[in-house]
Amino acid sequence: MKIRYFAWVRERVGLEEEEIELPAGVASVSELMAWLAARDEGYAAAFAEPEVIRVALDQFHVEHEAPLGGASEVAFFPPMTGG
């Protein structure tokens, strides 16, 4: 599964994107965020306030409760400030 990071989430994680193997027991967006946050300090800083993180599955906005299902791309980013 490809994971993409944008804006300050990208800066804190230190990566634009990466490929991961979903570990057993990680079935929802919020479980994936908790698993990522435990990886190292950068991830921990990126996901320190998980409630502000926005998520897209295959380029559609989803809530944190959403199941990852068969999504091929997950993206994490702050609230949007375009326009």
Partner 1 sequence: MDKTAPKPDYDAAVSVRVQADDFDITREIATLSEGRRDVGAIVTFTGLCRDEDGRLSALELEHYPGMAEAEIGRIAEEAAARWPLTGLTVIHRFGRIAPGANIVLVVAASRHRRAAFEAADFLMDFLKTRAPFWKKEHLAEGAESGWVEAKAADDSDAARWVKN
Binding site for partner 1 (CB under 8 A): 4, 6-8, 56, 59, 61, 75, 77-83
Nearer to partner 1, 41 or 60 (CB): 60
Residues contacting 51, CB < 8 A, separation 6+ = none
Instruction: Report the nearest approach of partner 1 to the CB of residue 23 (Å).
Output: 25
Instruction: Report the nearest approach of partner 1 to the CB of residue 18 (Å).
Output: 16
Instruction: Report the nearest approach of partner 1 to the CB of residue 13 (Å).
Output: 14
Nearer to partner 1, 38 or 80 (CB): 80
d(CA 83, CA 78): 15
Nearer to partner 1, 23 or 83 (CB): 83
What is the number of H-type helices and E-type strands within the chain? 3, 5
Which parts of the chain are beta strand (E)? Answer: 2-5, 17-19, 54-57, 60-62, 73-77
